[in-house]
Structure 1
Amino acid sequence: MVARITLVEGDITEQPVDVVVNAANSSLLGGGGVDGAIHRKGGPQVLEECRRLRASHWGKGLPTGRAVATTAGRLPARWVVHTVGPVYRAEEYEERAELLASCYRESLRAAAGLGARTVAFPAVSAGIYGWPPADAARIALGTVAEVLDGGDAEAGAELAEVRFVLFGSEMYGVFERARRELFGREV
């Protein structure tokens, strides 16, 4: 594996990394949770670039599982990569789990396209979108590890660190348990 996967309990808007990933809604115009926090702290530059994206290529909104980059505005990061996670529906699990994995793959591709070395992710879809946290953690960590292990050489080639920034000790604990289950060690 080229990059390290780290877990941090904290606020994603305070991470001094190249790319902060935003768990966005399809409008790209801000919302609640991580999305709202990134837009508030990033300031009007982030919103302005999102509006330009909506006025051009993403007029109908960013599809679930896709990712697109903007400036980070006043955030300590260089860029924001916005990705739209799926809403959890047990009856559509397989399709939606693939969309959740796609959020991580596409975000890493977008970060690689920017030349990023460090990327910070939230727990995409594990909040208001209702994804069970333990399953969201397994999908997130497993997908990122697969990309970094060469499953997508373009996306993982230059990365030094992929950091999961988890809000609260409960979510941090969920990710730590998933990491031990998947890897049995630090990665």
Structure 2
Amino acid sequence: MHIELVTGDITTETVDAIVNAANSSLLGGGGVDGAIHRKGGPAILEECRALRASRYGRGLPVGEAVATTAGRLPARWVIHTVGPVFSSEVDRSPLLRSCYTRSLEVAAELGARSIAYPLISSGVYRWPKEDAVRQALAALNAADTSIDLVRLVLFDEATRLIAEKVAHE
């Protein structure tokens, strides 16, 4: 598996699967979640509502992942995962790593060969960017997967530079 670190807009990535840093409701929100729902169109929300009505009546648990159509996005699927809110008192890093590994597992089950991730939990969930990158790379590098390409799509150049530094530690 090849891992790329890029600056960009995840909604424009031409890969098999795009990972959405969703909230547990699966019904859209702000940040990456809102952008994916807006650009992907109503088909994503329709499938998310169906998931809420069936398997995830109480919402998607933190660290888990589930796939829907990608709607109008240039990917085939959106894999929704719920990251943990950062806490300086409780170590939630296993849950954050699970977001990456469960998304990879779901993508592989779908037959995806390429996947793009945002930096999960590093926005409104306040996970420090450097450690968020460290957790992402630890999970991805340890994964045994059939996925060929993993792209970590970072929102801005400053975050990509942090990621490059962590990747070369």
Which TM bucket (shorter chain)? over 0.9
> What is the number of residues matched between the two proteins?
169
Question: Per-residue displacement from partner, 1:55-77 (whole Å, max 9, x unpaired)?
Answer: 00000000000000000000000
* Alignment match, 1:109: 105
Amino acid at match of 2:18: V
Structure 2 gap ranges (5+): none
Equivalent positions of 1:149-160 (< 5 A) are: 150=144, 156-157=145-146, 159-160=147-148
- 1:96-153 Cα distance to aligned partner (Å, 9 max, x none): 1000000001000000010000000000001110001000000001110100xx3xxx
User: Which aligned pairs between 1:4-153 and structure 2 lie closer than 5 A?
Assistant: 4-93=2-91, 96-147=92-143, 150=144
The alpha carbon displacement at 1:165 in A equals 0.5
From 178, 182, 186, the counterpart of 2:166: 178
State the secondary structure of the residue aligned to 2:90.
Answer: helix
Q: Name the SS for the 1:92 alignment partner.
A: coil
Q: Which amino acid counterpart does residue 10 of structure 2 have in structure 1?
A: I
Instruction: Tell me how far apart the structure 1 counterparts of residues 22 and 141 of structure 2 sit (CA, whole Å).
Output: 22
- Quote how far apart the aligned CAs of 1:12 are: 0.1
Between the aligned partners of 2:96 and 2:6, the Cα distance in structure 1 is 21
Q: CA deviation at 1:25?
A: 0.2
Q: What's the secondary structure of 1:30's corresponding residue?
A: coil
- What amino acid is the match of 1:99? L
Name segments (4+ residues, structure 1) moved above 6 Å.
Answer: none
Query: 1:5 is paired with a residue of what secondary structure?
Result: strand
Give the TM-score normalised by structure 1: 0.89
Runs of 5+ consecutive residues of structure 1 not aligned to the other structure:
151-155, 182-187
What letter matches 2:20 in structure 1?
Answer: N
CA distance in 2, matches of 1:101, 1:30: 22
Which whole-Å deviations, capped at 9, do the CAs of 1:15-59 have from their partners, x for residues lacking one? 000000000000000000000000000000000000000000000
TM-score (structure 2 length as normaliser): 0.99
1:167 is aligned to 2:159? no
Larger helix fraction of residues: 1
Q: Displacement of 1:174 after TM fit?
A: 1.2
**Over the residues paired in the alignment, what is the CA RMSD in angstroms?**
0.6
